[in-house]
Amino acid sequence: MRISLPFAVFLAVFPLSAAAEPVTLGDLSLDAPMLRATPPNAPVAGGYITIENRGDADDTLVAAAISEAIAGEVQLHTMTMNDGVMEMSQVEGGIPIPAGETVQLMPGGLHLMLMGLAQPLTAGESHEITLTFETAGEITLDAPVLTLGEIREATGAEGGHGGDHGHGNHGN
Ligand SMILES: [Cu+2]
């Protein structure tokens, strides 16, 4: 019985560690892509990733895509405060990834939004998501589906009202 506890902990932790392996695309380093698990009949789901630009030139995340079996389209969203209410809207012209900077898509901030979900996203699954950058080009990454709690832990996102409110409005 003394052996079983560390082994169980290893099994529980390993999937997250594996998902955290950064991937290089040109001057960009892409880390921890993830999708948010949804309740049944949710029309949308959030997607998150951390993008570091190690180059000397700005780049832009111009598009994201996923299989039609999962969602109709993937939009690039931002959250803004409007009269005390967090609202989300599409980012015009894509998400800038300035030279030398790291841009983190996370709950309550910039995020990918899967629109027209064909099925609920269940924690433990993973789905391929394709990102297109103006300069670095295109890459397809395997993004695990995580619960909001797991995503907040992984991204350091605030557990506050804002992120939940925007997505709850839109997503439930
Ligand atoms: Cu959104």
- CATH code, 110: 2.60.40.1890
Residue 10 lies in a domain: no
Mind listing the pLDDT tens digit for each residue in 5-59?
555 555 555 444 444 589 999 999 999 999 999 999 999 999 999 999 999 999 9
Q: Rounded CA gap, 151 and 67, in Å?
A: 22
Sequence-ordered alpha helix ranges (H) in the chain? 4-19, 148-155, 161-171
Residue 2 lies in a domain: no
Tokens representing 116 are 């027209």
pLDDT for the residue numbered 25: 98
Distance 105 CA to ligand 1 centre (A): 11
Residue 13 lies in a domain: no
Distance 10 CA to ligand 1 centre (A): 34
For residue 35, give its domain range. 22-155
Strands, DSSP E only, in 6-135? Answer: 23-25, 28-36, 44-53, 59-66, 71-82, 85-90, 95-97, 102-104, 111-117, 126-133
pLDDT band at 2 (very low <50, low <70, confident <90, very high): low
Residue 86 lies in a domain: yes
Residue 107 lies in a domain: yes
Distance 14 CA to ligand 1 centre (A): 29
Count of domains observed in the chain: 1
Residue 168 lies in a domain: no
pLDDT band at 160 (very low <50, low <70, confident <90, very high): very low
Share above pLDDT 70 across residues of the chain, in percent, rounded to a whole number: 80
Mind listing the pLDDT tens digit for each residue in 17-32?
444 589 999 999 999 9
- Given a contact cutoff of 8 angstroms between Cβ atoms, the answer to whether 145 and 127 are in contact is yes
Residue 138 lies in a domain: yes
Distance 166 CA to ligand 1 centre (A): 8
Tokens representing 164 are 């939940």
Residue 76 lies in a domain: yes
